[in-house]
Structure 1
Amino acid sequence: MSLALDPAAQDLLFREARTANTFTDEPVTDEQVQAIYDLVKYGPTAFNQSPLRVVLVRSDEARARLVKHMAEGNQPKTSTAPLVAILATDNEFHEELPALLPHFPQAKDAFFSERPVRESAATLNGALQAAYFIVGVRAAGLAAGPMTGFDAAGIEKEFLDGDHSVLMVVNIGKPGEDAWFPRLPRLAYDEVVTTV
């Protein structure tokens, strides 16, 4: 059975898309990032939660502060990517729920009054939004290099506050020379899907 999305778009978003490890020096504009966000903000989350927060690292000073918290293998690519985004969750996202859920105003207090519940919801739904963000970067004709190899406490202290938790750091730009590692295998349909 064919998909509604044409094969070229399927390739752009999934089959041919890869994690980039090198980038050209072509800049990534604020307009491109806004177009990405304005597309992916519609991805589904539970109760329309929107805990994702994005910190764009552009200045040399901020980049140096970030690089020191990255794992050794991630430092060179983070140093040279045209744009780096810190994707984090806002653990106080529930404060915005009345505006996002006008038909269900009690959601803010009914489900999210306890901090551990909010943090769990923020992590799950923020991770969903982060995945949409990566696909959105690809839809913009850019490459994404998402990474989780970093000192989370260091990044949070340097760039966030106590109400935010870092999920991942994403290098963004046009792929450079030798940008890709060899494609690794994925599980086959029959290894993943069961019917009951």
Structure 2
Amino acid sequence: MYYFQIKYVIRWLGVPCFILMLGCAQLQVKDGILSPPHKNYTVNIPGQGWEMIKVGKDDIALWHKQYHAMIAFISSDIENKALSLEMLNSQLFIGMKNKKILLNESMLVDNQEAMHTILICEIDNHTLKIESYVIKFGNKVYDLVYWSPPDLFDYIRKDFENIIKTFKFSNL
């Protein structure tokens, strides 16, 4: 059931992403390290079972079919520089229902302040467990997000933890 719902979302995003992809620069993955153009970061990509999906112009997501899991790397310009990290983190979860926050802490990712959150919520009548890191760096916000059905969440969570450990800003 989760598989079809997630695949529907991927299919829904797929057509516009494909159209955008035609005129965009290629994602740069070399020796398992992703370096999106104009995004100022590098990160190690897990191999086993993960399929890379380009989202938008330069952002990506990783899909794991066996565990119905997805990891997304999303960056965007911050229009209001006065927004706190807590506010940016809250914006990430708008539209999710029955949120139960399991963890919400401040920490460092590549020596930059980040909000680390784990929660369980409902999206389109499906329960998901989500882990995220929201990082404010310069005039951008970076959302690193992992989600899957709660009963499958821990099976490949280590892959997401390794991504966070290897996430590096290239303009430090």
Provide TM-score, normalisation by structure 1: 0.29
Which has the larger share of strand? 2
Task: Please identify the structure whose Cα radius of gyration is greater.
Answer: 1
Report which structure shows greater RCO (CA 8 Å, sep ≥6).
Answer: 1
Provide TM-score, normalisation by structure 2: 0.32
Which has the larger share of helix? 1
